[in-house]
A and B are shown apart, each in its own frame.
Chain A
């Protein structure tokens, strides 16, 4: 079976999964069977069919599993958001449509040779810094939940950081490909421009008060530096540098101190600082092994206990969607979800392995590692492995910026994969 036919078969499986998920939420909430779930799943399947057809004509040799896995993750996200809030599910559905359109146009624009991006690497570097700095500008920047990450322009608001991440990866791929020979020799002066750009990025991040993203960007940087030079020492030094920096920041920023103490002992202040994480842990525990079933989880205060109808988990649709899924699908369900993320990363790493030239290899490795690290940071934060930082779970969380950026990321991986596989065919 050809790669694209395999993709189609897997998309059909995802369409069936979405139908089952929607049907079970609908039955649980309204106690009746309806064709609404079928038509929603049908629309969703048609949308991915278009994405599949675009892939068929632009990247025929690309990896056949990335698109179905993307579809599966968005389907699970949409189902859970629909279960929590039907209006938000509709908005998220529109974002998926826009995301697929962006995915298709990325493939069409770059179908001949994505490597021409390499020539514009410095433009991407500057673009990333501008995007990162945007939320800090007075007038258009906005602070939500203590992190200055948003830009508001009229009715539209978005998180430019999500796109800055992609631009930084393109910049780093081009830059490291150009300089990796001299960097591998380890002379200090060659690191000048790199440290400068990264110092700038870190400064912006400390100012925006969002440390999860700082960890994400720095992690991507270290991983790509390792792929480019093959020097473990650099990665170790970088990690030490980051830990040192984090300790210093911990001394001076109260918000960070609060996060760390909440991580170590959330029960010290269960009504306030520890509230989110404790509620989320109860939600996961309530799911146990098999889960309550889609649509049967408890997310709102029940009548009679005061605060009736108030949500039990704050930000259940965005940062904490993993705990909502853990309650309804149980350990067995979220294990499958994490397996899908692992397989996505596995395919990405394989694309990096097979990529022919340095730029493609670095690009694929950077995109994959960024995806993996983001998933690790949010899921690790929710299960209290690391301090919690509010970032999105790729493709599943409610939120347009993250969804669009991740669709571009998948398109990028498929372009690299198409080129590598076409060469081998």
Chain B
């Protein structure tokens, strides 16, 4: 291979390398600018007090429709605190006689944007309107949540 060929090959490689490098950067910048249009949260942590005031807007209750452990029609109020549900006695909503529920089954998380339901790695899963939830999910009023053999309806 003559020297001229080497120089030409290197120039082509160099240009290809740089083009590809900037292409890679451009791909990421494109998505990053798309993210900017998403709702932004603050980078700095807000004091707990301020957060609670906002979260208190999420109020509502969970009405028991059916349960081996709780009376139907019993209502649990939801305020700014998280509510845990499970067979264990340490839960906020303890369903000790529900044999299909796990000890720590699920958690209701009130957030600024609404009430979220999160499965805590239960054996039998957590269901919303009959469908098992693979990831935490925001509840809409009227949604029916099933944990073990206990069914709860979220009402505002």
Q: Which residues of A contact B (CB under 8 A)?
A: 6, 10, 13-14, 16-17, 20-21, 23-24, 27-28, 31-33, 61, 65, 68-69, 72, 112, 180-181, 184, 226-230, 290-291, 293-296, 329, 332-333, 336, 339-340, 343, 346-347, 349-350, 352-354, 358, 361-362, 365, 422-423, 425
Closest to A333 in B: B18
Contact partner, A32, options B1, B10, B135, Cβ 8 Å? B1
How many of B's residues come within 8 Å of A, CB to CB? 37
- B14 with A17: CB separation less than 8 A: no
Pick from B20, B40, B118: contact of A16, CB under 8 Å: B20
Could you tell me the distance in whole angstroms from the C-beta of B67 to the nearest C-beta in chain A? Answer: 27
* Minimum CB distance partner of B136 in chain A: A423
Give the CA-CA distance A94 to B31 in the complex, in Å. 33
Cβ A296 vs Cβ B1 within 8 A: no
Q: Is B17 a contact of A24 with CB atoms below 8 Å?
A: yes
Give the dominant DSSP class at B's interface.
helix
Q: When the two chains form their complex, are residues B16 and A226 in contact, meaning their CB atoms are under 8 A apart?
A: no
CA of A227 to CA of B45, assembled, Å: 6
Interface residues of B (CB under 8 A from A): 1, 3, 6, 9-11, 13-14, 16-18, 20-25, 27-29, 31-32, 35, 40-48, 116, 118, 121, 135-136
Top 8 nearest A-B pairs by Cβ distance?
A: A24-B13, A230-B44, A20-B17, A336-B21, A293-B14, A422-B135, A423-B136, A17-B20
A-side binding surface: helix, strand, loop or mixed? helix
Cα–Cα, bound, A226→B43 (Å): 10
Selected contact of A336 from candidates B18, B35, B45, B135, CB within 8 Å: B18
- Between B1, B23, B45, B48, the greatest number of chain A beta carbons within 10 A of the residue's beta carbon is seen for B45
B45 lies within 8 A of A228 (CB): yes
| Known A28-B6, A294-B10, A347-B32; 16 more pairs at CB < 8 Å | A14-B24, A16-B20, A65-B31, A69-B28, A180-B45, A180-B47, A181-B47, A229-B45, A293-B10, A294-B17, A296-B10, A332-B18, A333-B18, A354-B41, A362-B45, A423-B118
